[in-house]
Amino acid sequence: MAGGQTDGEDKVSLELTEEIIQSMEVGMAFRDYTGRISSMDFHKTSNFLVTASDDESIRLYDVANATCLKTINSKKYGIDLVSFTSHPTTVIYSSKNGWDESLRLLSLHDNKYLRYFRGHHDRVVSLSLCARAEHFISGSLDRTVLLWDQRADKCQGLLRVQGRPATAYDDQGLIFAVAFGGSIRMFDSRNYEKGPFEIFSVGGDVSDANVVKFSNDGRLMLLTTKDGHVHVLDSFRGTLLGTYNVKPVSSNSTLEASFSPEGMFVISGSGDGSVYAWNIRSGKEVGSWLSNENETPVIKWAPGSLMFVTGSSELSFWIPDLSKLAAYVGRK
């Protein structure tokens, strides 16, 4: 990776601190997109990153070597959201053509569709895969959340919601969250038919839910909303630990935020294209990077790494410049 880091330094062997976050800058960027990046996902156990773009392409990257391995076009269906399965070259993605809302299981290795998942009747706005099984959930503007098994064409369950839904599995795959209408509903994956076992409020913010996520250790969760709020909660008690505010996003954009690997920091995009970082314990803003663009970037922290990635009209890999930090000079 550009910027002076070795592979060993890519992993979080150094403790992530506010100083390290403040030193972060773009170490590598891919500027060959002809449309905005709408979604991206890191594979949990490999060095792969996949992106989806408005130019109707899916691109697979080798993060360790900073190379694009493959570009696959989806001109017929378009592409909006994309997520890895447990296999590093298989993805599930949603359409963006306005007439076919099916989800597709695609092999990037040989560009073959392995399965179609039909059930939604409007744009899919949330997609979350279970890390421990072949299950996934999808949420749509048709006000349904569907539960799927990758081995079956038909959905395994249906939940009706009153608004735009955001969905997420926890890292163990034991529970999943569905957020809409100012609250987060918590479900037992094995007994979801019984309804939510907890309902957490996010302090009266009833604007459209955009993204809900769990921290890696499952102790925290975050919810972003269209009005530019990033809420962080205790995932066991539902206590609202903090709310961070950025610029609101348009109805066609998604406000994405991400926990750092150890769960101490949150990074988020903003409706004006900027990126912000906060210390969860203190609640203080610890970093901000302004942008010349006015579109909300998608953003994800790389698993187990001192790096996060943003996607807008280009794909940018952000890494710390340790030469700026006196405490780390001489460690290379």
The DSSP letter of residue 35 is: S
| pLDDT score for 131 | 86
Q: Which residue has the tokens 């007439």?
A: 99
**pLDDT 10s digit of each residue in the chain, 332 long?**
544 343 434 444 578 999 999 999 999 999 999 999 999 999 999 999 999 999 999 999 999 999 999 999 988 888 999 999 999 999 999 998 777 899 999 999 999 999 999 999 999 999 999 988 899 999 999 999 999 999 999 999 999 999 999 999 999 999 999 999 999 999 999 999 999 999 999 989 999 999 999 999 999 999 999 999 999 999 999 999 999 999 999 988 999 999 999 999 999 999 999 999 999 999 999 999 999 888 899 999 999 999 999 999 999 999 999 887 766 655 54
The helix (H) or strand (E) run that includes residue 18 is helix 18-22
Is the whole-model pTM more than 0.85? yes
Cα 165 from Cα 181, distance rounded (Å)? 8
Q: Nearest-CA neighbor of 102 among 117, 83, 90, 112? A: 117
Which residues, in sequence order, are CB contacts of 135 under 8 Å at separation 6+? 129, 147, 148, 149, 150, 156, 169, 173, 189
Cα 107 from Cα 92, distance rounded (Å)? 9
Residue 187 sits at the vertex; the CA angle it makes with 216 and 282, to the nearest 5 degrees, is 40
| pLDDT score for 3 | 40
CA 202 to centroid of chain Cα atoms: 20
Residue 245 sits at the vertex; the CA angle it makes with 307 and 25, to the nearest 5 degrees, is 25
| pLDDT score for 316 | 97
Which residues, in sequence order, are CB contacts of 134 under 8 Å at separation 6+? 85, 86, 149, 150, 151
Domain ranges of the chain: 16-31+265-324, 40-264
The helix (H) or strand (E) run that includes residue 43 is none
Tell me the CATH number of domain 40-264, given options 3.40.50.150, 3.40.50.720, 3.40.50.2000, 2.130.10.10: 2.130.10.10
| pLDDT score for 203 | 85
First to last CA, the chain: 15
Cα 306 from Cα 16, distance rounded (Å)? 7
Would you say 255 and 206 are in contact if contact means Cβ atoms under 8 Å apart? no
Q: Are strands 103-107 and 112-117 parallel, antiparallel or unpaired?
A: antiparallel
| pLDDT score for 9 | 41
Q: Is 327 helix (H, G, I), strand (E, B) or coil?
A: helix
| pLDDT score for 5 | 42
Q: Which residue has the tokens 């709020």?
A: 229
Q: Nearest-CA neighbor of 300 among 20, 73, 37, 32? A: 37
| pLDDT score for 330 | 54
Cα 298 from Cα 38, distance rounded (Å)? 7
The helix (H) or strand (E) run that includes residue 150 is none
| pLDDT score for 96 | 83
| pLDDT score for 7 | 42
